[in-house]
Chain A
Amino acid sequence: MHRIIEKEQLSAEVFRFKVEAPNIARERKAGQFIILQMGGDYNERIPLTIADADPEEGTITLIFQAVGESTHRLALLNVGDSIANLLGPLGKPTHIENFGRCVCVGGGIGVAPLYPIVKALKAAGNQVKVIIGARNKGLIIMEEEMRKAADELIVVTDDGSYGRKALVTEPLKELCSTWAPNLAVAIGPPIMMKFCALATKEFGVKTVVSLNTIMIDGTGMCGGCRVSIDGQTKFVCVDGPEFDGHQVDWNNMLTRLGTYKSQEAMAHHRCHIDLNIEEGKA
């Protein structure tokens, strides 16, 4: 059992938990994730990135967006409650070295998984510029942490309610042409990662993306997480989650993510009723 020792609501839909998980805190590296299951026979297994960890304290930090039934149920847990099952750290750690100049792009909830990577890149001696973006001001998360960790931070919103009114790809293209980064890292909604990869391709900037495919076991057993990378089938949970964004078959990945759309939409609707959640309030 993994006790929740801190809970914070970062925005209307986004929550931060600090959870006891000494084994995972000890081993985890930037870029890795966990899979949790809230006990019993019926709960789903949910993959979430390890946003931070404290090996001494034996805790890990998870930041998640309540998007569907399972993440809503998770959001209803409070300090002192426990998560029955927590498996990790999963996936390959981010490859960190001194690349020189790195631009890191985070969209929406993707800012959370980006944070440990930014810190690790900095620690390895890189110059790191960070772009974070969200639909509107209320959905911007971890701005303060990022400002501290990065050499420069650019904030954009789709509707201009905060920072610059733009999509993340705009400042990304500018940096590619003016600053010539050696590496780009983009994490966020798949569609955003797809367009970031398209943007950097023009400039020949190698781009790492972190794929959030549908998963069950996270150990390489089911193949549900498979994606096509440069024409080859890979399992995101064991071969990834990070891949070269220029080699991902984005269209296939986006269609596969939609596999359970109708069931999810029904569940989402149902959970707002069952769990007494107001629409728009997670």
Chain B
Amino acid sequence: MSEKSREVLEEEAKALLKDSYTAKERASLPVQPMPSQDPKQRIHNMDEVALGYTDSQALLEANRCLNCKNKPCVEGCPVGIDIPAFIHHITQRDIKAAGDEIAKASLLPAICGRVCPQENQCQLYCTVGKMHKDIDQSVSIGRLERYVADTLAKENEQSVAKIAPPTGKKVCVVGSGPASIAAAADLCKAGHKVTMFEALHKGGGVLVYGIPEFRLPKAIVARELAKLTAMGVDIQTNFLVGRTRSIKELMEKDGYDAVFVGSGAGLPKFMGIDGENLVGVLSANEFLTRSNLMKAYDHEHALTPMPQISKVAVFGGGNVAMDAARTALRLGAQKVSVIYRRSENELPARKEEVGHAKEEGVEFLLLHNPSRIIADESGHVKGVELLTCELGEPDASGRRSPVEIPGSETFYEYDTVIVAIGNNSNPLIKMTTEGIETTRKGTFVVNPDTNETTLKGVWAGGDIVLGAATVILAMGQGRKAAKAMNEYLAK
């Protein structure tokens, strides 16, 4: 999000570095921009857009933190990382200690530092932002977290987890997304024999098939999975719990003493409008899976085809929509429009991604809602009909709800439509497991203190419980469940 090169940013930061600062000086240090690939270039590659702070930038940014006694930012972090403590270690140039501090609460800092919606979490509460009455002035906690994780990874300095002596207990985790990774790690550390079952041929869940390389390099996810393997977790891919084996059989026949389900929210929603099954209409999951998991963006090598796209309409305004839109640009689309029924303020995507998408040339058709998708003679998409909306009264979620203006239908030409309006929970485990109760939305009912489901010996966490949520919340739930499971298994 800065025009300046990494080298220039490093020099500028270095010039401002001092051994100590007065409180006043701290408060006036400039917030450090994230060095990024040039938008004109990056839409032609899949490489990571945000390049990460330089050493001097990190040091300077860390010095912007006032080390508040009451730690308001920690309130905003779903896993309660002691933010001022880790940032203080950075100011002391002790990155190892900073990493150890983060590791007490978070297992995936390289990932969460990149993908957390910080502006709604830790950074929303930051005193510095409040002082300037501008959230963009908050201490860049996420970027610092990423800096610590990346620096340690580069130096191969990651603390090796201590593993308790074997307990003789066998547990399995279903899925390999952040909830399951966190649960597996904590269960393994307690000395249990852990098997992870993943349906796809590669582990990582949404981190691998959904979030694109340019936002979260797959090598980082692979590193986290390799850590699990090194700890002794047996990762079995191509294993669909409910079909390859049911939960009941896993527990009764295969001897698993406890099960954690982190099966995510992988069931794409459609809008139910005319034309949704036309050729040229894809769910964001399909589009992103083709590109990320199946590497279809690399058409020289990949055997999985990508549709030929030129004018692309993306329905939705969340992270999934941003990822789909920006991937479409990288695949050579001439025009990409994000179509969202509320206004910019309500866009649920991370602010940084909206900014990136705009820089790259994604068009935002706000206050518009699709009413149907229209085909040419061959059954292929030729355009969409949109209704204009205005904002009405705030709804239950506190967001102002869009009201369609009758008679405002207008035709827009597109050859591809990507539906990114969210995901429901995958019903397979519910369908194949007696005794697991779900809510009306299909998410698992759990005890909020322990994340245990209504079936004894089975815990759950992440999107299968929360509905489509965030990486950090999924990770936090995995850890909460693992703690309860460890207590249960110790009895």
Whether the pair B244, A45 counts as a contact (CB closer than 8 A) is no
Bound CA–CA A262/B306 (angstroms): 11
Interface size on B, residues (CB 8 A): 44
Q: How many A-B residue pairs have CB under 8 A?
A: 122
Whether the pair A263, B279 counts as a contact (CB closer than 8 A) is no
Instruction: Tell me the residues in window 302-357 of chain B with beta carbons closer than 8 Å to chain A beta carbons.
Output: 302-308
Q: Pick the contact of B303 from A24, A69, A89, A259 — CB < 8 Å?
A: A69
Interface residues on A, range: 35 or more
A90 interface contact, C-beta 8 A: yes
Encode contact with A along B281-306: 1 for CB under 8 Å, 0 otherwise: 01101100110011100100111111
Closest residue of chain B to A34, judged by CB?
A: B238
B457 interface contact, C-beta 8 A: no
B237 interface contact, C-beta 8 A: yes
B119 interface contact, C-beta 8 A: no
Q: Known: A24-B244, A219-B428. Contact between A255 and B378, CB under 8 A?
A: yes
Encode contact with A along B175-189: 1 for CB under 8 Å, 0 otherwise: 000000000000000
Closest residue of chain B to A26, judged by CB?
A: B245
Contact residues in B for A223 (Cβ distance below 8 Å): 268, 270, 282-283, 285-286
Closest residue of chain B to A73, judged by CB?
A: B303
Whether the pair A216, B289 counts as a contact (CB closer than 8 A) is yes
B276 interface contact, C-beta 8 A: yes
Whether the pair A85, B277 counts as a contact (CB closer than 8 A) is no
Whether the pair B279, A256 counts as a contact (CB closer than 8 A) is yes
Contact residues in A for B307 (Cβ distance below 8 Å): 259-260
Closest residue of chain A to B300, judged by CB?
A: A42
Q: Known: A216-B289, A259-B279. Contact between A221 and B268, CB under 8 A?
A: yes
Contact residues in B for A258 (Cβ distance below 8 Å): 279
Contact residues in B for A220 (Cβ distance below 8 Å): 266-267, 426-428
Least CB distance from B211 to A in Å reads 14
Whether the pair B239, A23 counts as a contact (CB closer than 8 A) is yes
A252 interface contact, C-beta 8 A: yes
Closest 10 CB pairs of A and B: A255-B379, A221-B266, A222-B286, A263-B305, A223-B283, A85-B201, A44-B303, A87-B238, A260-B305, A224-B286
Contacts A238-B427, A263-B306 known; list 17 others, CB within 8 Å: A23-B239, A42-B302, A44-B294, A73-B303, A84-B201, A87-B199, A87-B200, A88-B243, A219-B199, A220-B426, A222-B268, A223-B282, A223-B285, A249-B277, A252-B277, A259-B280, A259-B307
Residue contacts A-B, CB under 8 angstroms, 29 given: A23-B245, A27-B244, A44-B294, A44-B302, A87-B200, A87-B239, A87-B244, A88-B243, A216-B289, A217-B200, A217-B209, A219-B200, A220-B426, A220-B428, A221-B267, A222-B286, A222-B289, A223-B270, A224-B286, A233-B270, A233-B277, A252-B277, A252-B278, A255-B279, A255-B379, A256-B279, A260-B305, A262-B308, A264-B305
